[in-house]
Structure 1
Amino acid sequence: MQHVYKSIIVLLLSATASMSVYAQYKPMNINTSKSTSKSMNMGMSEEMKDRQAQAIQKYILQRDELSDQIRDEKNSAKKQALMAEQLKLIKKHEESKRAMKKKMMKKHHQKMMNKKSMKM
């Protein structure tokens, strides 16, 4: 009976190990990630990239500063006000990201339509 239990344990361990090896070596589609990162900076000058990085840095610093203030605040009313301010900051940032994405998609759509009309 002990041999049966040992055999079952060995079988389960080997099956688990083979599944983890398969999951570890699962092929990835590398081409899509490269094209995405390449297209993100397409058409941006170094100055524009620097301004964008500075804006992101400013947002992160503001958000983290508010998080620190929220964590350190003892008064619950002030804490709620800081949390509301942080939420407002996050919503503003997310809205600007959505607007930028919409603008880029519109630009891409126009570019694709121009290519399509040139072929005809």
Structure 2
Amino acid sequence: MNNLVKLIAVLALSTTCISAFAKEKPMNMQSGNTSGQSMGMKMSAEMKDKMARNKQKYILQIDALSDRINDEKNAKKKQALMDEQLQLIKDHQEKKRHMKKKMMQKHHQKMMNKNDE
């Protein structure tokens, strides 16, 4: 019985602490950041449109290769199509990494210039 009372007390305190922390906003969160862009970087509507069109093109290429892979009966041709699709995925991932690195370098340069002022 005594253990049950202690358990209930611990649970009550835990839920109180959790709800208190949940109300606080983390330090690194920026208010009004709904576009998915972090660190104050903004994209123009034209850039958003270009990115969406590029993503759409990539998805269509992957889907087309998937359809061709599923329809192919010859094992060697099927493997060649799978290799082509894998290379397309790898190229896309590398492009995303490169863009992220470029954005981080721009942000770093911006912050360094801000600190110099």
Amino acid at match of 1:37: G
Partner residue, 2:66:
67
- Find the counterpart in structure 2 of residue 89 from structure 1: 88
Query: One-letter code of the match for 2:76?
Result: A
Partner of 1:32: 29
Deviations 1:2-52 (A, max 9, x none): xxxxxxxxxxxxxxxx9xxx8xx9849677386481438933211111111
Q: Alignment partner of 1:39: what SS?
A: coil
Q: CA deviation at 1:72?
A: 1.6
Aligned length: 97
> After alignment, is 65-74 or 97-106 more displaced?
65-74
Identity over the aligned pairs, expressed in percent? 59
Structure number with greater CO (CA < 8 Å, separation at least 6) is 2
Q: What's the CA shift for 1:92?
A: 0.7
Unaligned runs of 5+ in 2: 1-10
**Distance (Å, rounded) in 2 between the aligned partners of 1:40 and 1:82:** 40
Instruction: Quote the residue 1:98 is aligned against.
Output: 97
State the 1:74 CA deviation: 0.9
- TM-score of the pair, normalised by structure 1: 0.67
**Which amino acid in the other structure matches residue 29 of structure 2?**
T
| C-alpha spacing 1:52/1:39, structure 2 compared with 1 (3 Å) | same
The 1-side partners of 2:69 and 2:112 are apart by 49
Find the aligned partners of 1:87 and 1:102 in 2 and give their Cα distance. 23
SS in 1 for 2:29: helix
Q: TM-score, normalised by structure 2?
A: 0.69
Higher helix share: 1
Cα distance in 2, alignment partners of residues 49 and 71 from structure 1: 33
After TM superposition, the structure 1 = structure 2 runs for residues 1-120 of structure 1, keeping only pairs within 5 Å, are 27=22, 32=29, 35=33, 37-39=36-38, 42-118=41-117
Structure 1 pair 32/73, CA: closer, same or farther in 2 (3 Å)?
farther
Segments of 5+ residues of structure 1 without an aligned counterpart are 1-17
